[in-house]
Amino acid sequence: MTTTETAELKAIRESILRVRMSDWLQLPKEAPWLDKTLKAYIRVLKNLWKDGADISEVTARSNWIADQVDVRGWAHSLGPENGDNVVLIGRGAHILLLLTPPTDTQQDIVDAYWGWMEERILGPIREQFPELYVWLVEWHRRQIAEMAATELTEGVAT
Amino acid sequence: MTNSPYVRAALAQVVLDNVPPLIRRTLLDQLAFREEYGFKTEAVLAFGDSGFSIQRSDLFQAVRTVLAGACEAEVTDTDGRAWMLRNESGREIQPNLVVSSGEHRLVLPDFAVLSQDSAIRLRSLVEAASDVNLPVSAQDAWRSILTERALEDDEVDPFHSDIRDTPVHLERSIRREITAGHSSVSSLVPSSRRYFERLVGVYDGSASIRGYAAGAGHKFMQKLSAWRPYEGFLFSLFLSSHAALTAEIGVDYLGSDDLVRAYDFIQNHGDILSRLGAIEVGLRILTERPEIEPYVLRLVHRIRDDDVEAAAGEFKLFAASFVLVDGELSRTRLMSKEPPFYRRLASLAQAALIHRQLVQCGIDRDSFCEWAFNNRGEQYYMQSLADMRTEPRWNPDLAAALQMKADFFGRIMIASRNFEKNIGAGELRDLALGDGPGTLHALSEFPRPYFPGPLEGAEDSPNDLPDDLTRVIEAQLDTDEVEPSSFVALVNSAMVFKVTSGQAELAAKALRLGNYRLANVEEKSQLLGILNGLATVAAVARNPVLADELRILVRRYRHDAQYGLPIEEAMRICLVASGSRDHLTEWREFAGQWLTELAFSELEGDEGEVLHSHLHCLLQAVPELWVSCARADAALKAYCSR
């Protein structure tokens, strides 16, 4: 299934592309704009994966959004050193946002999301950027270790 | 106070359930992680198209029972169907496990590593390792476990995977797939670094193919020979992509019968790269092993007589296989940290391995070539252009069947001269060293046989520019009217002789003096030849000044009414000229600025889509280019979705 872009979506996409085509974005001063923009896209993406969603339709829409949120496309605004870091490993922090499942949804939707995300995002990273994949795996290992070390306090359920 | 192991495991499990399945599996594949939280893994095993799938622990428990001496053991598959497992080895020591249910019968893979008998386990390892030439280091690792104990459930797949990750196993698998009529890029080109290290040796940090051949290549050939002289020789020939490597192929362990048998195999069932290697080895040992002379002669005939235009041509098939493999290795970035020559060595060896299976199976060669180019041609091309930063003397067009054949001719003629004393009077001598009709010399189109080979892009030409040619170059460039002919001598020398930075500067000066316009251009192909040639000069002479002037010249002609340059040509010239900078930062700055200029320029027809597609491949090959090409990517995205 393919998506048909509405006028509003086209306008949003092109207005952001216009910024990306230029040297207008001033980093780090204007980093919050970029951060909020990308996070808004991802929030919308996650909201698509709701109970009863048509998976093929949601997949097509998610693919459209995934095309907009590749942080490597802003590498020129980050300068050579930061740009290199973001392109190679640093984008991992951004990709983590896509690795958490949608909340308050049934397991079959979560599974469908995992399927889409792994085919579109994580699988290619594992195959083509193994160092980044290792970084992502290690991040999760640390999270698990931290959680496992969290001391549970005794309490009485009410 | 710290959490008890039970609480830690429970908490870890909660987090793990919310981790993407792929990462979850990666973590659970790690023994240290499983041990840390006391996790056990379970898996379902499926056996091809047999319809038999079963919980791993159930099957392995039954295998252990049978291997311990029970007549049979019943297992239940995931559909609830009962199967009977038996060991049908008879008097053989090594087990032969079979499961059956009604009329269905399935022979299982070798699970002797689950036996409680260390002798059976170790014998299984020795046989499997010898069969596939498993490296000693891998053998030792498994031996140390199998000497002590049977494998755990989750160690069995890594063991089998290790065995599968070998050229011997892949050869069989490719042949099986081709015979069955289905194959894929991923099955022809494994995405396993370990596999390729077993095919061509482990990269040892050498700066050139000659260094690699003398170091790791030499040791690798010795190991192949020590494994099995006959088979080892045939596998060594996959590394025939450079004369320095074939010089390391020894035949001391091969008796006369086996040597003749190997040459007979290569002549009748071999790939074309192995045929070249067999010729070079043969010429070297001809005095001591004269029995192979007729074979060497016939191999030279086969290379000479191959029609590069024909649908069934060997060079055409080999070139397509190489493009497929190299493009796939570029896409998966499996060797992105090694020099291009090492990746190409691996690509050419794998292409030869594929080629050897293809010629034995009989396929529609034209369809295969078309499929290979369509699938990985673009990625191959962009990767090879990017490679010119570090190896500027080899470009992607040199993989064409016509040039490959010329390169083979060149190597045979050079080997024949090197071992001239070994070649007696007769047809072989006439063919390789003579200049009469039908000889390699007569059929060669100078200077093609003397162009650098695919592994020689980093080496300076061994040939100094002759004085008279130097004078011609200087005379042509010292002119008031700058025209294509002003650069002909320089451009034609760039791939064969050492061209200096000073000579490149002269060309740059001529372009400036001519106000970036060439007089008397006769046709577009002539202009393209000069522009591409000047880009090559800038790259091989590492001359940024000429590259800068060339960029202005290309800008001038890009939209010329009469000789306008297609975007693909402009991009090619840009990337070749970028080879004038060998430092990554400078290279990407120069290439990025030029590509961005092209992306923002007036594009016609499908030029935007073409440029964007090429840029996508380039960014895949060299992600560092994002820093200088992100704007171009954005512009092309905007253009393509207009």
Percent of chain B with pLDDT over 90: 89
Is the pLDDT at A3 greater than 80? The verdict is no
ipTM rounded to 2 decimals: 0.94
- DSSP tag of A89: I
Tell the residue number behind the tokens 């083979």, with chain if given.
B408
Total beta-carbon pairs less than 8 A apart between chain A and chain B: 117
pLDDT, residue A28, reads 87
CA distance B204 to chain A (A): 21
Separation between Cα atoms, residue B533 and residue B488, nearest integer Å: 9
pLDDT in tens, B277-300: 999 999 999 999 999 999 999 999
pLDDT, residue B91, reads 65
How many helices and strands (H and E) does chain B possess? 32, 6
Separation between Cα atoms, residue A117 and residue B345, nearest integer Å: 35
Among residues B183, B619, B108, which one has the least CA distance to residue B364?
B183
pLDDT in tens, B217-268: 999 999 999 999 999 999 999 999 999 999 999 999 999 999 999 999 999 9
Residue A21 touches chain B, beta carbons under 8 Å: yes
> What residues of B are in contact with residue A144 (Cβ under 8 Å)?
12, 15-16, 19, 27, 37
CA distance A57 to chain B (A): 20
Is the pLDDT at A107 greater than 50? The verdict is yes
Average pLDDT, chain B: 95
CA distance B635 to chain A (A): 6
Is the pLDDT at A113 greater than 90? The verdict is yes
Give CA B393 to chain center in angstroms: 18
Of A13, A87, A118, the CB nearest to B627: A87
- H helices within chain A, ranges in order? 7-20, 31-48, 55-68, 79-85, 91-99, 107-117, 123-128, 130-149
> What residues of B are in contact with residue A75 (Cβ under 8 Å)?
626-627, 630
CA dihedral sign of residues B407, B411, B413, B417: positive
C-beta neighbour count of B582 within 10 angstroms: 16
- DSSP tag of B335: T
- The residue type found at B396 is P
Is the pLDDT at A148 greater than 60? The verdict is yes
* Chain B residue nearest residue A114, CA to CA: B20
CB contact under 8 A, B3 and A149: yes
Residue B584 touches chain A, beta carbons under 8 Å: no
Is the pLDDT at B350 greater than 60? The verdict is yes
pLDDT in tens, B489-541: 999 999 999 999 999 999 999 999 999 999 999 999 999 999 999 999 999 99
Residue B12 touches chain A, beta carbons under 8 Å: yes
Cβ B567 vs Cβ B603: under 8 Å: yes
- For residue B542, count CB atoms less than 10 angstroms from its CB and return exposed for 0-12, middle for 13-18, buried for 19 or more: middle
> What's the rounded mean pLDDT across residues A73-83?
91
Is the pLDDT at A156 greater than 60? The verdict is no
Q: Is B87 in a helix, a strand, or coil?
A: strand
- H helices within B454-542, ranges in order? 467-477, 488-493, 501-513, 524-540
CB contact under 8 A, A150 and B3: yes
Tell the residue number behind the tokens 């992105």, with chain if given.
B336
Give CA A146 to chain center in angstroms: 23
Percent of chain B with pLDDT over 70: 100
Average pLDDT, chain A: 92
Contact residues for B190 (Cβ-Cβ < 8 A; gap 6+): B165, B170, B196
Q: Which of B19-23, B67-71, B382-386, B568-572 has the weakest average pLDDT?
A: B67-71
> What's the rounded mean pLDDT across residues B89-108?
85
Could you tell me the two tokens for B15?
């987090």
Separation between Cα atoms, residue A22 and residue B345, nearest integer Å: 41
The most distant pair of C-alpha atoms in chain A lies apart, rounded to whole Å, by 59
**Cis upstream peptide for A28 (omega within 30°):** yes
Residue B31 touches chain A, beta carbons under 8 Å: no
- DSSP tag of A71: G
Separation between Cα atoms, residue B555 and residue B553, nearest integer Å: 5
Is the pLDDT at B90 greater than 80? The verdict is no
Separation between Cα atoms, residue B568 and residue B341, nearest integer Å: 25
pLDDT in tens, B125-168: 999 999 999 999 999 999 999 999 999 998 999 999 999 999 99
- For residue B437, count CB atoms less than 10 angstroms from its CB and return exposed for 0-12, middle for 13-18, buried for 19 or more: exposed
> What residues of A are in contact with residue B3 (Cβ under 8 Å)?
148-152
Of A17, A75, A123, the CB nearest to B627: A75
Beta bridge pairs of residue B105: B100
> What's the rounded mean pLDDT across residues B426-444?
95
CB contact under 8 A, A75 and B630: yes
> What residues of A are in contact with residue B619 (Cβ under 8 Å)?
72
* Chain A residue nearest residue B16, CA to CA: A144
Three-state helix/strand/coil letters over B241-268: CCHHHHCCCCCCCCCHHHHHHHHHHHHH
Q: Name the pTM for this structure.
A: 0.94
Contact residues for A24 (Cβ-Cβ < 8 A; gap 6+): none
> What residues of A are in contact with residue B1 (Cβ under 8 Å)?
151
Output b/e per residue, B180-211; b: 16+ Cβ within 10 A. eeebebeebbbbbbebbbbbbbebeebebbbe
Cβ A94 vs Cβ A31: under 8 Å: no
Q: Which of B15, B626, B640 to mutate to test the interface with A (most CBs of A within 10 A)?
A: B626
Q: What is the CA radius of gyration of chain A?
A: 18
pLDDT, residue B607, reads 97
pLDDT, residue B321, reads 98
CB contact under 8 A, B624 and A84: yes
Of B7, B21, B332, the CB nearest to A152: B7
Residue A47 touches chain B, beta carbons under 8 Å: no
Cβ B33 vs Cβ B27: under 8 Å: yes
Among residues B451, B450, B510, which one has the least CA distance to residue B485?
B510
Separation between Cα atoms, residue A64 and residue B563, nearest integer Å: 39
User: How large is the angle between the packed helices B118-132 and B167-180, nearest 10 degrees?
Assistant: 70
For B101, B230, B273, B278, B313, the CA distances from B413, given in Å and listed in that order, are: 63, 27, 16, 14, 22
> What residues of A are in contact with residue B621 (Cβ under 8 Å)?
none
Tell the residue number behind the tokens 């490719």, with chain if given.
B174
Structure confidence at residue A158 as a pLDDT band (50, 70, 90): very low
Could you tell me the two tokens for B144?
């140390």
Cβ B86 vs Cβ B70: under 8 Å: no
pLDDT in tens, B6-17: 899 999 999 999
Residue A81 touches chain B, beta carbons under 8 Å: no
Separation between Cα atoms, residue B566 and residue B601, nearest integer Å: 12
Separation between Cα atoms, residue A59 and residue A66, nearest integer Å: 10
C-beta neighbour count of B507 within 10 angstroms: 29
Three-state helix/strand/coil letters over B175-192: HHHHHHCCCCHHHHCCCC
Separation between Cα atoms, residue B199 and residue B410, nearest integer Å: 26
CB contact under 8 A, B15 and A117: no
Structure confidence at residue B360 as a pLDDT band (50, 70, 90): confident
CA distance B636 to chain A (A): 9
**Cis upstream peptide for B20 (omega within 30°):** no
> What residues of A are in contact with residue B23 (Cβ under 8 Å)?
99, 122, 136-137, 140
Residue A83 touches chain B, beta carbons under 8 Å: yes
Residue A73 touches chain B, beta carbons under 8 Å: yes
CB contact under 8 A, A151 and B1: yes
CB contact under 8 A, B27 and A73: no
- For residue B403, count CB atoms less than 10 angstroms from its CB and return exposed for 0-12, middle for 13-18, buried for 19 or more: buried
H/E element, B548? helix B544-558
Separation between Cα atoms, residue B69 and residue A15, nearest integer Å: 73
pLDDT, residue B363, reads 85
Residues 123-142 (A) with a CB less than 8 A from some CB of B: 123, 126-129, 133, 136-137, 140-141
pLDDT, residue B49, reads 77
- DSSP tag of B439: S
> What's the rounded mean pLDDT across residues B594-612?
97
Separation between Cα atoms, residue B66 and residue B74, nearest integer Å: 10
Structure confidence at residue A4 as a pLDDT band (50, 70, 90): confident
> What residues of B are in contact with residue A76 (Cβ under 8 Å)?
626-631
pLDDT, residue B22, reads 97
Could you tell me the two tokens for B592?
């990025």
